[in-house]
Amino acid sequence: MTPSTTMIADPHGTAAPARGPDPTPRSPVTGGFLVLAGILLVALNLRAAITGLGALLDEVRTGLALSGVVAGLVTTLPALAFALFGALTPRLVRRYAAPRVLVAAMLALALGQLLRVTTGSGVVFLLHSALALAGIAVGNILLPMLVKQHFPHRIGLVTGAYSMTMTVGATAAAAAAVPVAHTFGSWRAGLAVWAGLALAAVLPWVPLARRARAAGPRPTPATDAPDPRRIRPGRTRLGWAMGLYFGTQALGAYAVMGWLAQLFRDAGFRAGDAGLLLAAVTALGVPIAMLMPTLAGRLRSLRPVILALSTAMLLAYLGLAVAPHDGALLWAALLAVGQSSFPLVLAVIGLRARTAEGTVALSAFTQSVGYLIAALGPLLVGVLYGATGGWTVPIGFLLAALAVQTAAGMVIARPRFVEDER
């Protein structure tokens, strides 16, 4: 199989030809609808296994007699697994075609979800959950690369579509896990059902994986194509800025998702109303998740967008500190706007690399560093809240993280490519 000419998009939305290996033969079906369907189905799975567990955490703790330490590991495990297994993904892609890697990832996700509900041991539950999360971690890294490879002229649009699908999957799992568990009389059923969704995500990738296997081993990149082993984002200013931006925005998002309902309850809201306010942040974020990557693909500089998102978060945090009850709906709306930095940075991963190889390297580094930072968010907010008995200091910590996020955002806002900084 010889290298083929592909088109890559620059940050301004234009395209230019570039030489590089294309391990998957293109056709109107495999290169278009089937790939898009596969991307969306994978995205639907990337948070369902986590939010479904979050909704049933009390039942799982009781059923498995989890200690406080193990229960804490359950909530921290996703970010740690995303960092660890995400960092290994570029090696897999160098050895195997991306469709084959995705098939294995979704099978691992399905198997992990099924195995973890068959055990009575908390430690074994954690190990099987780690297997499921490994599949999610690989999907996290590969989707930006696949968008870049198959939809170079529609990076923003397709990234927005899969970001929105990811949010829908997370919301649906959180909402349905408890009713499913009650229907079947066990929390195990409420968790196991999502394995079927992972198996469905395998189906579009099977014919693509077969084509890649029939084409033989991955070709050695042409001399004029970047060698992915020499693309090391950790040695570039752009790579670290991407990791810091991704990590600090995720830190804030994880902290908000973990503690916002408690903040509203402390402000005088009933438990049900506090939960609805938290759900409003997610619901309002769905259409914004579709819009933000598309906007990013059309702008020469992202500074106005990044500053606008940081301003929304700043106003939300200050409002929560000063008037959490009276302005609750406004703060929830501003949080929804500010947290659209997540779909934005997913699109920027594709816009800051010239090639698919550069995209997967930047994606792996950005998300691995980012999720390590994000894992600190709920933990530190909880420690500060417990130590002070109020929300002034925890919100001050989130404001400091927002300042770092904004500074990193100014670096990634300017058009540049990770391959050029090697």
Helix (H) or strand (E) holding 5: strand 4-9
Cβ neighbours, 10 Å, residue 166: 25
Provide the greatest CA pair distance for the chain: 66
Distance CA(177)–CA(49), nearest Å, equals 10
Q: Which residue, among 224, 223, 172, has the nearest Cα to 49 in the 3D structure?
A: 172
The tens digit of pLDDT for each residue in 134-153 reads 999 999 999 999 998 899 88
For residue 287, what pLDDT band results from cuts at 50, 70 and 90? confident
- Superfamily the domain 24-220 falls into: MFS general substrate transporter like domains (1.20.1250.20)
Q: Where are the domains of the chain?
A: 24-220, 229-421
357-405 confidence digits (pLDDT tens): 888 999 999 999 999 999 888 788 888 988 998 999 999 999 999 999 9
Q: What is the pLDDT of residues 186-228, one digit of tens each?
A: 999 999 999 999 999 999 999 988 887 765 545 444 333 445 4
Report how far apart, in Å, the C-alpha atoms of 103 and of each of 184, 267, 269 are. Answer: 29, 47, 45
Written as six digits, the tokens of 92 are 């897999």
State the Cα–Cα distance between residues 50 and 332, nearest whole angstrom.
22
pLDDT at 312 over 90: yes
Report pLDDT for 378: 79
Look at the block and give the residue holding tokens 């259409």: 287
Choose between 422 and 196: higher pLDDT: 196
| Residue 116: per-residue pLDDT | 95
Per-residue pLDDT at 127: 94
Q: 229-421, what's its fold?
A: Growth Hormone; Chain: A; (1.20.1250)
CB atoms within 10 A of CB 419: 22
Q: Is 110 helix (H, G, I), strand (E, B) or coil?
A: helix
Contact 15, 7 (CB under 8 A): yes
Tens of pLDDT, residue by residue over 19-77, are 333 444 444 444 588 999 999 999 999 988 988 887 788 788 889 988 777 776 787 78
pTM for the full predicted model: 0.79
